[in-house]
Amino acid sequence: MAARSAPSPFRDWTRRATWVDWFLLGLRVLVVAVVGYGFVSGMANPRYGQAEWFSFIVFGLSIGSIYALIALGYTMVYGILRMVNFAHGDVFMFGSYSACFALIASDRGGLLDANPALAIAIAVLACVTVSGGIAVLAERIAYRPFRKGRSLAPLISTLGLSFALAYSARGMFGAQNKAFPSIPSIDGIVTIAGFAVPKVQLFVILAAVATMIVLTLIVMKTKIGTAMRAVSEDQDAATLMGINVNRVIVFTFALGGALAGIAGLLYGLVFAQISFMMGFFLGVKGFGAAVLGGIGNIPGAMLGGLALGMVESLGPALFLEGLGIEAPYQLRDAIAYTMLVMVLIFRPSGLLGERLSKRA
């Protein structure tokens, strides 16, 4: 009797596939075809030179690194608690305001010109302290009372806190947009490989990378970082091993808040204008970046943020222009979120996969 050959994976898939699977397959093919056509068509009619493409990449990296820092706060909290802290965007906003006021004070005192490094250090201290503090308060006020329950209460609670923080900022700082001080020593242009790059953007990219390296060292090399990883792995087991879970959770909020504060400072330096509602839009982008990279996954948040920034910056020029769309940058958010949806269809757990606690 002849041995029966194993069915091919494709034949096996077609046997088990439902109409939903066929629909999703068709969608994937369509997306690839449209993006491919847009890309090829755009390349066939080049509008941009090397300098422009280089600029797009730098713009994408600078905004992407800010998204990444915000995303890290979402992903660390979600990784441990399986909870989305919707007030995180407003923690970012407060970081931006505190850095702004610190820089204004330094400017008035002449420190910004005399010793810009110290002025920046003071601004970092201000935004890290304020944002970290607010994040810890958020944990205490809006999350901890609901931690034992299995309801949507924490989610709603953080949403409410988000509005409370935004409108508190409006009350304190006014409804008008506020100019963020520029730092003279990082104004101007620097030339890299023959391409002009604004110094402030280079500074922001490097500062964000340095912050992410410090975060990685904290998470991988310190005792509290090890405890964070243990809690994110299995809360019950961590408790049995003598880890103070409450302390770890508070530290995680503080660390996420501090990163958001630094993101607020960097955002202010790049975009030079802040407002009380900025946390909402940037928070959504940061959350999107965390999901894109794989929620709960720290390297995923970094990658997701950078990917989102790059797609926003490059996408309209790369795909939309080739499709003949007028004024493609008006659709920048649309292309970013479409990409997010597509990645989740192709790979539901995000680019690097989810890493979630076994028990929240």
Partner 1 sequence: MLATTALAGVAHAVTVGPVTDDIGVIEIPEGDPIQIGGLMVLSGPDSSLGLDQSRGAEIAFADRDEMLLDHPIQYLPEDGQCSVEGGQTGATRLAANTQIVAVVGPACSSEARGGGPVLWNAGMPMAISSATAPALTAQDRPEGFQGLVRFVYNDLAAAAAAVEYVQSQGFARVATLHDGSLYAEQLVQSFQEQFKAAGGEVVASEAIAPTDTDLRPVLTRIGTGAPQILYAPIFVGASAYLVRQAGEIRSMADVPLLGSDAVLAPAFLDAAGDDAVGYRIIGIDNDPAVLGERYVEFVQKYEDEFGEPPIAGFHANGYDAASAVMAAIEKVAVTEDGTTYIGRKAFRDALMATKDMPGVSGTVSCDPHGDCSAAAFAVFEFTDSDSSSFEVGVNPKKMWP
Taken in order 255, 156, 163, 168, the sign of the CA dihedral is: negative
Residue 92 touches partner 1, criterion: CB under 8 A: no
CA–CA distance, 282 with 96 (Å, rounded to integer) = 12
Label residue 327 left, alpha or beta by phi (over 0 means left) and psi (-120 to 50 means alpha).
left
300 or 328: CB nearest partner 1: 328
Min dist. Cβ of residue 352 to partner 1 (A)? 25
- CA nearest to 148, candidates 213, 89, 102, 81: 81
Residue of 35, 56, 161, 259 interacting with partner 1 (CB under 8 A): 56
Min dist. Cβ of residue 248 to partner 1 (A)? 35
Min dist. Cβ of residue 262 to partner 1 (A)? 18
Taken in order 261, 267, 272, 275, the sign of the CA dihedral is: negative
Name residues contacting partner 1, limited to 152-211 (CB under 8 A): 175-182, 189, 196, 198, 200-201
Residue of 50, 244, 246, 330 interacting with partner 1 (CB under 8 A): 330
Could you tell me which stretch among 46-54, 79-87, 147-155, 222-230 binds partner 1 (CB under 8 A)? Answer: 46-54
Taken in order 346, 351, 352, 353, the sign of the CA dihedral is: negative
Residue 106 touches partner 1, criterion: CB under 8 A: no
175 or 220: CB nearest partner 1: 175
293 or 316: CB nearest partner 1: 316
Name residues contacting partner 1, limited to 59-78 (CB under 8 A): 59, 63
Name residues contacting partner 1, limited to 259-318 (CB under 8 A): 270-273, 275, 277-278, 281, 312-313, 316-317
10 or 326: CB nearest partner 1: 326
Min dist. Cβ of residue 37 to partner 1 (A)? 20
CA–CA distance, 239 with 110 (Å, rounded to integer) = 51
Residue 50 touches partner 1, criterion: CB under 8 A: no
Label residue 340 left, alpha or beta by phi (over 0 means left) and psi (-120 to 50 means alpha).
alpha
CA–CA distance, 356 with 360 (Å, rounded to integer) = 9
Residue 308 in tokens: 């989102």
Could you tell me which stretch among 53-61, 75-83, 217-225, 227-235 binds partner 1 (CB under 8 A)? Answer: 53-61
Residue 325 in tokens: 């769309």
Residue 44 in tokens: 């066939």
Residues 6+ apart with CB under 8 A from 342: 28, 31
* R_g of the chain computed on alpha carbons: 23
215 or 306: CB nearest partner 1: 306
- Total residues in contact with partner 1, by rule CB under 8 A: 39
Which amino acid, 204?
Answer: V
**What does the binding site for partner 1 look like in residue numbers (CB under 8 A)?**
47-48, 51-52, 55-56, 59, 63, 175-182, 189, 196, 198, 200-201, 270-273, 275, 277-278, 281, 312-313, 316-317, 326-327, 329-330, 332-333
